[in-house]
Amino acid sequence: MARLTVSPDAESGMSLGNPKKKKNNFTRFFGQIDLQLMVIPALILIFVFSYIPMYGVLIAFQDYKIGSGSFLSSPWVGLKHFKAFFDSPDFNVVMRNTIVISFLKLIIGFPAPIILALMLNEVRKIVFKRVVQTITYLPHFMSWVIVGGMVSTMLATDNGSINMLLETLRVIDDPINFLSMSEYFWSILVTTNVWKEIGFGSIVYLAAIAGIDPHMYEAASMDGANRFKQIYLITLPSIMPVVTIFLILAIGNLLSAGFEDILILASNPALRDVSDVIDTYVIRVGINNYRYSYATAVGLFKAVISVGLLTIANYVARRAGNSLW
Amino acid sequence: MSVVRESFGDRCLTVFIYAFLTILAFSTFYPFWNAIVISFNEGMDTTRGGVTFWPREFTLENYSIVFKDERLMNGFVISVLRTIIGTISAILATAIFSYGMSKKELMGRKYYMIMCVFTMYFTGGLIPSFLLIRSLGLMNSFWVFIIPSLIGVWNMIIFRTFFRGLPAGLEESAKIDGCGNWGTLFRIVLPLSGPVVATLSLFTAVAHWNEWFTASIYISKEELLPIQTILKQILASNIVSEQTAGMDSAALARMQQAKTVTSKSLSMATMMVATIPIVMVYPFVQKYFVKGVLVGSLKE
């Protein structure tokens, strides 16, 4: 998550050498050709797989036909596809779902690992702590396919554990087909996300907590602060800088929160009204319905918002980082 | 801590935390355990319900069918191949790239770095990438799993940071002994980079093993599908079959081989097979990932 705080210009200072004894650039370049050969192939790969697609977004302003070979041989149509998206009935549904799902993931998924880290920190039995950590980290390493398979097994109508439990507790009379009912989808999606990432997300906060000076707790308990007060008055304020940075970055990545979970958990088309977000919409209209230009326009719309969010987030994070650390 | 006797409130907090963490650990572990149990239980027996913590009618039938299924085993082999080839080639390529980028004397380094970091902010998106892959002839090719993910900008930054932290004297003495940049990288620097190579390799390998989306849009040839993508198709058809009672022909054909299995018991066995490699590397992952996460998030 913190990847985007890297500054490209931070270390560029001396690389261009002293202008006084500046040799011919060509001679210098070929003098270090072995070094250049280490980076040039990789840069070509980055150019091909990242920059050519950036150039390819121009088809959002064209009527791209499948047959036409290069990106630019199709007729230009201006903002037609953007207007079509804004006017289409899908726009409201897709935007609502994207915003709601992103915010739910942020509001519930962001504090959850912090709370877990605070709780784990209070555990004095090392074995218990290790076991909880080992188990809660595990889902992070499972693919969404596997996680989705487990969720659908848990929620299945034919003897899924959740339905069995609810029936035993007499909460419900008949099994509920959770994964085909739109009113449950957001809850299932967010719960599964938290379930998968809560343990792994807590690592960073545990590390931050480990850096707190233990004398502060001793002093606090001398002064009569109970454990809850110590959490509230020492632990939380001490990890606040890390929390702030991660919150800012999470907001920056708000729209890039991933779509695999939705593709997996909403494989039932009946859920489309609540599950369709920008990313899944692009895949459906673009890859499945061959509306390449339209889908590219939708994707570009999202990319522009994301760049804006990221740039603001990184700017704020760097400012906050300087003032806090 | 022992100066003050535990107050009533503190004890309540302790009880609450232990109870909460126990429930959390249980609810994280139970879905795995239940899937394992179902995969070892007779399929027809599972449909009668009540299979939760322990197999009622223990059988290896589900696994024997999965292991005899050519489509799944082929997917397993594809997954293993892409994980091994993809991880080794990506780590090697990224390490070479990062070593070059870590050198202060590299001409144009500033521009190269801007070129890399910009890709973290803006991407062309799915459709232009899709059209590019298609025009490069990578559709229905094994190399679509390997080549586009060869260079990771984020991994490059981690590698570079690590290389910079190595003592400069080592490289200087290698240079004096006549090592070029390539020789220094392979004989001196990489052998000293064990921890970072291990961390990044494990993460890359796990990502390769778990990745299913690429194949779902770029691969239509059955024999090139990795096991995760096949499993996704099977599971999706199972979810729909809850309503329509329709099942994909492969699952149906497999079911007819033995009457005691069901699509559910087979799915669970397949899921377990697709999880085994992760569970096998998990102890190693655990050893390194705390380091990896911290390198990844706090270093810069």
Lookup: tokens for A123: 């555990």
Tens digit of each residue's pLDDT (9 = 90 or more) over B163-172? 888 888 888 8
User: Chain B contacts of A145, Cβ < 8 Å?
Assistant: 210, 212, 228-229, 231-232, 235, 274
Question: What's the complex ipTM?
Answer: 0.86
The SS3 call for residue B259 is: coil
Q: How far is B263 from chain A (nearest CA, A)?
A: 12
Lookup: tokens for B155: 């991994």
Which of B146, B41, B144 has the alpha carbon at shortest distance from B92?
B146
Q: Is the pLDDT of residue B21 over 60?
A: yes
pLDDT < 70 regions, chain A: 1-23, 66-72, 257, 321-325
User: Chain A contacts of B121, Cβ < 8 Å?
Assistant: 4, 307, 310-311
Look at residue B42 in the predicted model and tell me its pLDDT: 86
A159 CB-near residues (< 8 Å, 6+ apart): B46, B47, B48, B49, B50, B51
Look at residue A105 in the predicted model and tell me its pLDDT: 93
**Average pLDDT rounded to a whole number, residues B283-297:** 66
Lookup: tokens for B211: 């990745």
Which of A311, A161, A67 has the alpha carbon at shortest distance from B268?
A161
**Average pLDDT rounded to a whole number, residues B161-190:** 86
Look at residue B81 in the predicted model and tell me its pLDDT: 96
* Interchain contact B114–A (C-beta under 8 A): yes
- Residue in B103, B127, B271 to test binding to A, most A beta-carbons within 10 Å: B127
How far is C-alpha A301 from the geometric centre of its chain's CA atoms? 18
Look at residue B242 in the predicted model and tell me its pLDDT: 45
Look at residue B1 in the predicted model and tell me its pLDDT: 45
**Average pLDDT rounded to a whole number, residues B279-295:** 71
Look at residue B240 in the predicted model and tell me its pLDDT: 52
Q: Is the pLDDT of residue B185 over 80?
A: yes
Q: Which of B126, B238, B240 sits opposite A286 (nearest CB)?
A: B126
CB B181 within 8 A of CB B277: no
Q: What are the residues facing A62 on neighbouring strands?
A: A76
CB B293 within 8 A of CB A1: no
User: Chain B contacts of A31, Cβ < 8 Å?
Assistant: none
DSSP A93: H
Look at residue B252 in the predicted model and tell me its pLDDT: 56
Q: How far is B250 from chain A (nearest CA, A)?
A: 18
CB B269 within 8 A of CB B233: no
CB A5 within 8 A of CB B299: no
Do residue A204 and residue B105 have CB atoms under 8 angstroms apart? Answer: no
Lookup: tokens for A74: 């199709």
Do residue B150 and residue A45 have CB atoms under 8 angstroms apart? Answer: yes
Which of A155, A152, A119 has the alpha carbon at shortest distance from A136?
A119
Backbone angles phi, psi at B41, to 5 degrees: -105, 150
Site of tokens 């009618």? B57
Look at residue B257 in the predicted model and tell me its pLDDT: 52
Tens digit of each residue's pLDDT (9 = 90 or more) over B75-110? 999 999 999 999 999 999 999 999 999 998 899 999
* Interchain contact B253–A (C-beta under 8 A): no
Structure-model confidence comparison of residues B274 and B254, the more confident one: B274
Lookup: tokens for B226: 């990795």
User: Chain A contacts of B96, Cβ < 8 Å?
Assistant: 38, 42
Q: Please name the amino acid found at residue B98.
A: S
Look at residue B298 in the predicted model and tell me its pLDDT: 43
Q: Please name the amino acid found at residue A105.
A: K
DSSP B79: H
* Interchain contact B81–A (C-beta under 8 A): no
Look at residue A262 in the predicted model and tell me its pLDDT: 93
Q: Please name the amino acid found at residue B246.
A: G
- Alpha-helix residue ranges (DSSP H) falling in chain A: 25-31, 33-46, 52-56, 80-87, 89-109, 111-122, 126-137, 144-155, 161-168, 182-210, 214-222, 227-230, 236-252, 260-265, 272-275, 278-282, 292-324
The SS3 call for residue A76 is: strand
Neighbours of A271 (CB within 10 A): 20
Which of A41, A205, A36 has the alpha carbon at shortest distance from A111?
A205
B263 CB-near residues (< 8 Å, 6+ apart): B234, B238, B241, B247, B251, B255
